[in-house]
Structure 1
Amino acid sequence: MHRPKAQAAALLSSPEDTEQQFYEALQGADLDRLMEVWADEDEVSCVHPGGPRVVGLGAIRAAFEAVFQQGAIAVHPERVRRMVSGDTAIHQVLERVLVQGAEGQQSAWVISTNVYLKTAMGWRMVVHHASPGTAHDIQEVVEEPATLH
């Protein structure tokens, strides 16, 4: 379902709203909805797991159009770490992707960084960088804070 831009802006009132729409669009292979989350900036970029850096809205649209020719992506964001500074939000996401293999449905893992900017049209994605992961990546190495309060 295509949404008017004004309605999409109202739905993208936080980085979390934008991220939710991004993953729902991937799950539904909805190219128009997916493109609504991107900022209208020349330097927006996307890296698919194992792929090159794709820069610009037209190139990003073409890249996702090619991905969606294989169908929807059963991707589920997990273990999201969020950092916000002013009008910029950075989310580090462990993505669980369900894939059909010889042994039935299995989970594959992708580690992504999503960067959002607050714009006049609400929060918009400016970078999606995804790298192949492994089941080992379910574990996190977290440094304990050095300062005691």
Structure 2
Amino acid sequence: MTTEVDRCIEEYYAAFRAADIEQMMRLWGERPDIVCIHPGSPRAHRGVAEVMESWLLVFARELNIGIEPKIVGRHQTGDTISIVIEEAITRPGDVAPTGTILISQTWHLLDSRWRLLFHHASHGRRAAPPQDGMFVPNAGDKTRH
């Protein structure tokens, strides 16, 4: 059974993977108090114009990465849905995920449609680099720190 949470996530990732700004912005509430924060962003983007500009910048970058979202938290109360997602990220040339992005979103039922009000994404853990072929200094008095 598909829930409202599942539909919201499906629509969000369809817009993200297609890098479709119109599809992405249809998901957002048309309100001055919406907020979007991307990984590494120096600030929170507020309002429709800033949020749209922030997504245009994301979509302008090469998005040649694999994303496997996993919902790790969900809560729905009446007209509000809160979701926490952990994305496993696989970069080109990697055979397995090498890092994660952590996302929290708040959706609200507006005009009979679920609309995104808040989106906060940040870098999660990164996989440890492989030891093969890496320089690993000897311990002891030969190190400088």
Q: Shorter-chain TM-score category?
A: 0.7 to 0.9
Residue of 34, 38, 43 corresponding to 2:33:
43
Q: Does the aligned pair in 2 maintain the 1:75–1:96 contact within 8 Å?
A: yes
Distance 2:8 2:71 in 1: 17
TM-score, length basis structure 2: 0.75
AA at the equivalent of 1:129:
H
AA at the equivalent of 1:128:
H
How big is each residue's C-alpha offset from its partner over 1:22-41, in whole Å with a ceiling of 9 and x where there is no partner? 11111111111111100111
Distance 1:24 1:35 in 2: 12
Of Structure 1 and Structure 2, the greater helix share is in 1
Matches within 5 A, 1:1-149: 14-51=4-41, 52-72=43-63, 74-100=66-92, 104-105=93-94, 106-107=96-97, 108-135=99-126
How big is each residue's C-alpha offset from its partner over 1:35-83, in whole Å with a ceiling of 9 and x where there is no partner? 1100111110111012121101111111111111123453331133110
* 4+ residue segments displaced more than 2 Å: 13-16, 71-76, 105-108
How big is each residue's C-alpha offset from its partner over 1:91-125, in whole Å with a ceiling of 9 and x where there is no partner? 0110122222xxx2252201110100011141111
Percent identity over paired residues: 24
Q: Does the aligned pair in 1 maintain the 2:71–2:83 contact within 8 Å?
A: no
Q: Does the aligned pair in 2 maintain the 1:27–1:74 contact within 8 Å?
A: no
Distance 2:18 2:90 in 1: 14
TM-score, length basis structure 1: 0.73
- Unaligned ranges ≥5, structure 1: 1-12, 137-149
Greater relative contact order (Cα < 8 A, sep 6+): 1
RMSD: 1.9
Aligned length: 121
Distance 1:65 1:85 in 2: 32
